[in-house]
Structure 1
Amino acid sequence: MAVLGFRLTELSPLALLTRPGRSVSRRTPTPLRPDLTSLRIIGVSLLLVAFGAGLWFLPLTQELGGRGELLQLDWYTVAALAAACEIVVQMVQVNGHRQVRAISMNEIATVLGLFFASPGAFVAGRLIGVLAALVLWRRQGPVKVFFNGSMLFAESVLALLLFNLIRGEGAVIDQQAWAAALVATVCGGLLSAVAVTVVLAVVDGETKRRDFFLEAGRGAATSAWVTCIALVAVHALAATSRAAIPLLISMVLLLAAYRRYSSLFERHLSLERLYRFSHAVSSTPEVNEILTGVLQHAREVLRADYAEIVFVSPESGHQPLRIDSRGSGSKLRRARLTEPAASDPSWSGVVTSGGPLLIPRGDRGHRPLLAERGLRDAILVPLKGEAGIVGTILVGDRISDVRSFDSDDVQLLMTVANHASMALQNGRLVDRLRHDALHDKLTGLPNRNRLQQEMVSALSELRADRSPGFTVMNLDLVNFKQVNDTFGLPLGDRLLQEVGQRLHKSLGGHGTLARTGGDEFTVLLPGLDTITQALDVATRLRCGLEKPVSIQGVDVEVGAAIGIAVAPLHGSDGHTLLKRADAAMYYAKNSGSGLHVYEKGLDANETPERLALTAELRQGISAGQLEVYVQPQADLRTGLVLGVEALVRWRHPRHGLLFPDTFIPLAERNGLIPQLTDAVLEQAVAACGRWRRAGHRLTVSVNLSARSNLNDNLIASVQRLLNRHAVPADSLTLEITESSVIRDPGRTRMVLDRLHDLGVGLSIDDFGTGYSSLSYLRQLPVQEVKIDKSFVMSMLTEPGDAAIVRSIVDLGTNLDLAVVAEGVEDAATWAELERLGCTNMQGFYLAPPMPLAGFIDWLAAREGHLAEAR
């Protein structure tokens, strides 16, 4: 038999969401008043009573059919059996509903009553026994008791009618009698399933056909199983009444075993809910989403109607912040704890002691805490952070009329609190990562990515006629390289920090000051649309740098060259404005003026040396002077080399081997990136083809410049090279940077999708340092992320960098991406990365960049070394 266990108190409307910082007055529960839902349930109950009464007055229903010839059970015996079976129940939450079904073993009492009790004793005994258990044991309210009693009456009369109809006359217990009992109990259970489904539809406003058939099937299977056990008891009692003693013992043991099974089943469900909770809160980086998930899943895991998190305020004079939710689908409510609630010894004791608090139903020692929240029972546990207890988690109002919270639930909520604490710390870390992705690590100023965001915003305001224009300034420090060479990098960093502070102070909080390069800064000034205004600000910036900076007792003069471009006078897109401000800055630096406003034709005014090197680069690309060096990448667990990253060098006829930072900016400035990329791809793919034909299944990665043309030409070039050298597409990985994504997200996504469809691997380079790493990563079809070496090289000495590396590894793992750590310089870093779950690495500890010609020899030596180590 299925007995509905929904709670009418859960049907009352939720309180309105209050604004943060506003106190909340929670009312205590009030007596239930008949509402529309209750009236509908009563209506369904009356229909069941009418149905049962109609069947009861049929002559066939009240036939004795040979009862009493073998054994006679009085109504009170049937009542005792029914009550005992009803007390031992298994609580099951209905799929998709917050109501709870109680599945009992009442079929035992039903079958014994059908065989050995008169119709009147059978129906009266079942009603009295079950209703007594519902009222005295489960303490159900009047509406639920009326519904469950009506359903029980209809089910009993239907079972009695079907039993008499199929069994026929006589007291013989044969196969026909077995079938009669089986059909009677199963059909009675189906009637209950229909009734429960109808009431759930009334309560929730909807029902699902799949849920009905699923619950009906489970109920029929349970009824059939318990009926078979009851038939064994019928045969034994029919043979001799003395069989009642061993049967009673067996029944007690069976009920105890069933009770134990119910407990194990509930524990299994709790573990399953806990797993879903852990997965849910670890898969989102947003703190608000984590809070929502923690409260929602805490209610689900503990089968509670109410959950709250209270954060202890670190500032004196501020009341703790409470975030709570009540009922399924409810929104979060935020408010400060009232003074009485904050000083409640029950709550403050948990914060002080760090131990959990269990408040079962009927507990009078903690009544103020329950009354303030309108709860019947609760569990309160501490929420621990890195610095100690940061708050508490409470769940209350267990969705069950049979049992309250117990010690097992306390341990379960402690586990939930531990997961919640870790998730909230990770969420705060992601917020920090997001901040770091938009700010320069050294100076704390906005970086190029944040500048791009502000530029997009300023252009939008301009195009919408909400702003007259804006000014862009590029600023480059004079003689900074000499300071670095003389005093070293650490003191050079201190100089940059001091310069950043002075520039920020000179701006007075207006506009955006970003560090966009080693010694380069960019200023964006919204609303500043005249050259006169721009010159005033630029002069103020230069004046702020006039005072010498003291380094190791030496006063160092710090100068700056500033180039100015004004929108819309000098351009109407970010790329043009930055380029023209850059050209003006170079003019100011080379001319010695220190300050210059862009003028037409200034872009072409390059120094003779730069013009010559640019022309030589163009010729060098055509003449094959670019050489590809490779740096191996290895599996952190096995040490096996998986592939290489291709790195470009320029073998200049006069200057020797030049590194990328010398000529890549020239290529970007003069539109040579497509030709340079083609040259590198040609050599890298050709080498990969040779290695594969020699039996080395290696991959090769090629880094695309931020100004690479991500278009159809690149796709065609990649496909042509792969076909020419017989290299599978998945052996080539293209590394893209955040700047290339931000420049044109729509076109970038389209090109990357086509490369992905081609089978080419895609990787985000320097992950964790750019805006795209967090806002576009889920949208891009990438298979790999590379942790910037600036984090990896200092992760063993800087806790902040270690936390960033750990978080990036976790994020990559959760998104099913390979994670490559760059800049691995020693065995200790290797070991720590392996422990964190990072997959691959590259760095000088494995091998420095090397010419293509020497790679195979190095690989053979490496493999020989690994073989000896095994």
Structure 2
Amino acid sequence: MTRAQLARRGGTWPLVLAVAGCSAVLHVVVTRSVAGAAVASSWHWWELVPAFVLAELCVVHVQFGREAHSFALSEIPLVIGLFTLSPTHVVVARLLGGAAALALRRQPAEKLLFNCAQWWLDTLLAVAIWRALAGDGPGLATSPRAWVAAIVAVAVAELVSTGAILAAIWVREGAVPTGLAVRGLLEGQLVSLTNVSFGLVAFDLLRTSWRNAWVLLVVGAAVWSATRAHVKLQRRHRLVESLNRFSHGVGEQLELEATVAYVLERTRELLVADSAALVLSPGFVGAEGTSRTFACDASGVRELTEHHPGTPQVPESADELESALDGPDGRIGVLSVHDRLGDVGGFGTEDAALLEAIAGQAASWLHNSRLADLLREQAAASDYRALHDPLTGLPNRVLFTRAVDDACGRGTAAVLLLDLNRFKEVNDTLGHAAGDDLLREVARRLRAMAAPDTCVSRLGGDEFAVLLRGAGANEALVHAGQVRDALMAPLPMSGISFRMEASTGIAVSPQHGTTSEALLRCADVAMYYAKSTRTPAQVYTPRADVNSAARLALVSDLRWALLNEEFRLQYQPKVSIVEGRVTSLEALIRWHDPVRGVVGPDTFIPVAEQVGLISDLTDWVLATSLRQCRAWQDQGSYVSVAVNVSPPTLHDTDFVQGVRRHLELAGIPPHRLTLEITEGAVMRDPAHALRVLHDLRALGVRLSIDDLGAGQSSLTYLRQLPVDEVKIDKSFVMGMSEVADDDAIVCALVNLVHTLRLAVVAEGVEDERTWQRLRQIGCDTAQGYWLSRPLDPELVPGWLGAPHRYIDLLASERGRRRLSVAGGTAQQAPTA
């Protein structure tokens, strides 16, 4: 049976019953097997009862854990009983005398019965062993063999008795320390040997004459006093050692609450108390008018507070001690212990002195712990201020960069950099106090929507940052949309309902960098790009980064390339789907860099736009393409050219005059030049764009809207624009033979543009199926790799005169319709 099972069945009662059962069985065996009369048959069992009573009253108490074990002089009358009484009479005298003594000491019934049961057992063992070793017959009283047998018998009985006591301690406390068990066994044997020796002497003296009893009383008192003094000395020695360990242990505690817990646990242990309590004064705690109370019992240490109903308070009992804890700055608190454990009575003067000694050391270490706590709190507050924004309480740039570096070292991460739009207007209009309120509200909203592992920071001014651990660009864009929705919620300020917007730049690790510095720089670039394009959020792209080392080198090389004519033009035909003739050739610029090789326009055009080189580049393209158009004309090929115009160029005040100049220099009629303009170029400043387009139209230049469907077009402006044609973006055209939605979009756009009485150009024709489908839905012009790849200028005349598959398709269709076919190529006929 385990200790837990014993405890559930009622403390030590199962152990009492077990010992009593063993004793009963042993009693039957011993009484039947042991024969013969006692040595001195004139002795009566009741004559030893007072001796057992006196022996059990003259005890020395030794604490074993939470239990007190009493070392008595009961071995003295037991030895006499071995020589003078039968086994049953010895047991009866022992039990009656011991029970009477325990009753006088008011011992609890459970312990009284346990002691009686183990006395019954060890008495029977002593009788059985003594009878077996001493033998039987006359002369036992003076036989050395009988005396040695008595020593052995009582020693074995003492071992059994101590074992039963340790078993009881194990049942009640759950464990018996090895040192405690060894000490109990050794001390029990030492006391037993002393008492047996004295008992043998007493038996010999009393056998001679009862008048020798006074000698026994004197010697017995001396033995008892010596034993008691020895036990006291040992106890004091152990207490000194315990105090030293207490002093060393409490000094190792670094925090106030850890020190409190250690003090209470050790105080309860040293004073063998059921509970201990420590009340810390308000002045020491630092809370005005509030004290802190801690209690410790068998369940552990806990803080008691009146703010939590039902919390147990410091127990009140008649058996208690308390001692004040005084520090250099006044009263620290009061330490108290309650209800001494065991049967040795309440707390005494020695216990009071011990508690005072503990309180003195505890006061010193509690004071030191409190100082250490204050220093840690000040350091923590200082660290917090150094790492957090004082206005919003969010992590500042220093803490945010640490978090980003940590996240980059663990895997993917996304950084969102937010800059509030029109924040300066709030400060200028409503005042800085309103601006501060707005920043606090933005911080609250960002924090409310953040996941537990998301870091939200205010970097300074109206800039905020968000770290998404384990997120990619798509997740970051979704979160940016959620941020936008959160900020757009109405915010009442000074009697008006205000809606805040922000421009967000996104950078992702490891694609855009693996350090906080790199990611924040890329996010900053993306954020300003979002501002410039008036979009809510942008993911970092190198094309938007005009400040990178590679971009700086690219800018330098671009300038050099313009001076050294490293640019080349290729031309891609645009073919009429109905007639099969080439309507124009789109000029496509290529950069032949000696180091990089052939560089596409997607790489250098955005850079040229951002650094102001686009006007020079457009000027070169216009001049070169118009000269080439003149050269083809001189060779007999009357074709038109198309040139792309970037948004900054369209808004150049000298652009229209530049176009006129290049047309005049090349000697090309204006209608042979088509300028392709993106939707975004018009939508950036519609009013100005309309004026420029009308001026170009007045000049006679053909105008085309490029990449319809890929930008942010407005049908209202499209209807007002003086353009001749519209190009459908290739992203729809290339997929229309496979994707039904793309086909539907292209059909709708063709019908829409025709409704506006404009021509339609489909770029991105990659196969015959797309060509046939465009012809079927009525598209006017096609452009793409299926018709021709971009051509070097010297290859254009030969291509124009060569037969092509689209011409064969048209001829076959005309044949099927039995229509006449006109001979020759349309390209050779001069245009009026």
TM interval, short-chain normalised: 0.3 to 0.5
Q: TM-score w.r.t. structure 1 length?
A: 0.45
Q: TM-score w.r.t. structure 2 length?
A: 0.47
Larger relative contact order (Cα-Cα within 8 Å, sequence gap ≥ 6): 1
Larger radius of gyration: 2
